Amino acid sequence: MSSHSPARLRLHDSRQRRIVDFQPIDPGHVRLYYCGPTVYDLAHLGNLRANLTADLLVRLLRVLYPRVTYVRNVTDVDDKINARAAELGISIGTLTDATLADFHADLAALGVLPPDIEPCATAHVGEMIAMIARLVEDGHAYEAEGHVLFSVRDFPGYGQLSGRDPEALLAGARVEVAPYKRDGGDFVLWKPSPAELPGWDSPWGRGRPGWHIECSAMSHRYLGESFDIHGGGTDLIFPHHENERAQSLCAHPHGEFARFWVHNAMLLVDGEKMSKSLGNFLTIRDILARAPAEAIRLLLMRTHYRSVLDFSDAGLIEARRELDRFYRGLEAHPGVVAGALPDSVLSALTDDLNTPAVLAAMHRLADAAIAGDARAASGLRAAGAQLGLLALDPSEWFRGGEDAVEIEAAITARLEARRVRDFARADAIRAEWLARGVAMEDGPAGTTWRRVPAGGTA
């Protein structure tokens, strides 16, 4: 167990590559920005991991500080969107609206709280153009063949976030370097857009923004030149965050952009990398069809956010069993309400979001609650509320669903079989229902039932 003060947040900062004390710029108002979805397809488990990490961080910050503003953008102008809309034969707006609605529904199903501000890129092109114009004016960017490019040579801090050698970055991509770039590492701020694709008038002609500028423009608009935390997956560190940082620091040289950078590690599925380009990604919807939402949520919290997580069905079943244990703790104290968040839970959370340690603390609370400790049950409830877990009534967790009448009838039939000591028949009924995902359990007070993974051995 960590021994630091429970209310002092220690957080890993990617730029410094170490765990540091989190010091907000304004302790009265913590501000953070996360890179949100590009809305062209259903969200997958990797997206969920990033958004859940943000959710846990924001929930914790709200406990520690009086005011938190969490901004998560929506990328609704992008080449992948254009391609997808054309492929489906629908308008870009139809695609982005529908995808965003799906995204919201999926995250809500997982208990991920919405951000305070969710700006769309297409609503902030004016801010992007203004920022690009400023970069051009100050000599940090140049126009070439209708494109506007950021000059990485010009920014001495380039490479600092991702820990890369600036000289090597000047060379840029290994494969192709557009001929109009001064240095291979220069990246696009603005590019020309043909009539059939989304475009906006600009000082450089009709065009659309490059990938990175929207986050710089929108974080500035809503959080200012300097804010506390910027987050996302580790795969965004380079080039996306490195470029955002370069743009923002050059456009606003008196600001510090993001003070702390929080990045979650990638997720594997059965040991394999999951990515959109490989096409092997599991969507949030796929998994919701296979397991209770809280089990999915807990599964993701069983691994620290900075460690690679290998998603598997076995893990899902284990997560479900852990929740069984927690709900048994609550079931032992009907009507228990959340009390104060136990220090064991808070100190684990403030220790760089050590969720595995939080779960260990919750197991101790559940053990105590089952043994009769009402205060522990109350603490367990509070821990669950903090993590976005244990939101159900125990009876709903164990016995929710629609076939309760049929199950009760089977139990009655089985009790009769037991009464006449026809144990073969009693066992057959129990086995049949277990295969259907219902475990029948005989106790001193009669027979109860609960749901288990279908075909399971629980």
Partner RNA sequence: GGUCCGGUGGCAGAGUGGUGAUGCAGCGGACUGCAAAUCCGCGAAUGUGGGUUCGAUUCCCGCCCGGACCUCCA
Q: Which of residues 241-260 bind RNA (CB under 7 A)?
A: 243
Q: Does 356 engage in binding with RNA (CB under 7 A)? A: yes
The backbone torsions φ and ψ at residue 238, rounded to the nearest 5 degrees and listed phi first, read -130, 130
Instruction: Please give the annotated binding residues for Zn(2+), written as ranges.
Output: 35, 215, 240, 244
- Going by C-alpha positions, the residue among 393, 400, 380, 406 that lies closest to residue 292 is 400
How many of the other CB atoms lie within 10 Å of CB of 362? 28
Query: Contact region for RNA (CB under 7 A) — 111-119, 246-254, 273-281, 392-400?
Result: 273-281
Q: In angstroms, rounded to a whole number, what is the distance separating the alpha carbons of residues 417 and 425?
A: 6
Can you give the length of the chain in residues? 458
Q: Which residue from 103, 352, 394, 410 is in contact with RNA, where contact means CB under 7 A?
A: 352
> Min. distance of Cβ 199 from RNA in angstroms?
20
Does residue 180 interact with RNA by CB under 7 A? no
Q: Rounded to the nearest whole angstrom, what is the least distance from the CB of residue 73 to RNA in the complex?
A: 11
- The least distance separating RNA from the CB of residue 195, rounded to whole angstroms, comes to 24
236 binds RNA (CB under 7 A): yes
Site for RNA contains 395 (CB under 7 A):
no
Asked if 52 interacts with RNA (CB under 7 A), we say no
| Contact yes or no for 181/274 (Cβ under 8 A) | no
Query: Which of 310, 343, 373, 393 touches RNA by CB under 7 A?
Result: 310
Site for RNA contains 172 (CB under 7 A): yes
What lies within 8 Å, CB to CB, of 361 at 6+ separation is 1, 342, 344, 345, 348, 383
Cα distances from 112 to residues 26, 381, 387, in angstroms, run: 25, 18, 10
Q: Report the residue from 70, 142, 155, 187 that binds RNA according to the rule CB under 7 A.
A: 187
When binding is defined by CB under 7 A, the residue of 225, 367, 373, 393 that contacts RNA is: 367
Stretch 61-100 residues interacting with RNA (CB under 7 A): 80
- The CB-of-302 to RNA minimum distance in angstroms stands at 5
- Cα–Cα nearest to 34, from 76, 81, 75: 75
> Which position among 104, 273, 290, 399 is part of the footprint of RNA (CB under 7 A)?
273
CA atoms in the 13 A half-sphere facing the CB of 402: 0
Residues making up the binding site for ATP: 276
- Please identify, among the stretches 88-96, 189-197, 288-296, 321-329, the one whose residues bind RNA according to the rule CB under 7 A: 321-329
Task: Answer yes or no: are the C-beta atoms of 100 and 108 closer than 8 Å.
Answer: no
Q: What is the DSSP letter of 289?
A: T
Q: Is 118 a binder of RNA (CB under 7 A)? A: no
- CA–CA gap between residue 332 and residue 369 (Å, rounded): 7
Q: Does 234 bind RNA (CB under 7 A)?
A: yes
- From the list 93-101, 129-137, 395-403, 434-442, the region that binds RNA by CB under 7 A is 434-442
Query: Using CB under 7 A, which residues numbered 398 to 427 contact RNA?
Result: 418, 423, 426-427
Q: 23, 275, 395, 412: which one contacts RNA (CB under 7 A)?
A: 275
Among 7, 114, 321, 334, binds RNA (CB under 7 A): 321
| 3 state SS of 276 | coil
Q: How far is the CB of 93 from RNA (least distance, A)?
A: 20
> Residue 265 — φ and ψ, nearest 5°?
-75, 170
Q: Does 360 bind RNA (CB under 7 A)?
A: yes
Q: ∠260-263-269 over CA atoms, to 5°?
A: 170
In order, the DSSP letters of 362-392 are HHHHHHHHHTT-HHHHHHHHHHHHHHT---S
Task: Note whether 157 binds RNA by CB under 7 A.
Answer: no
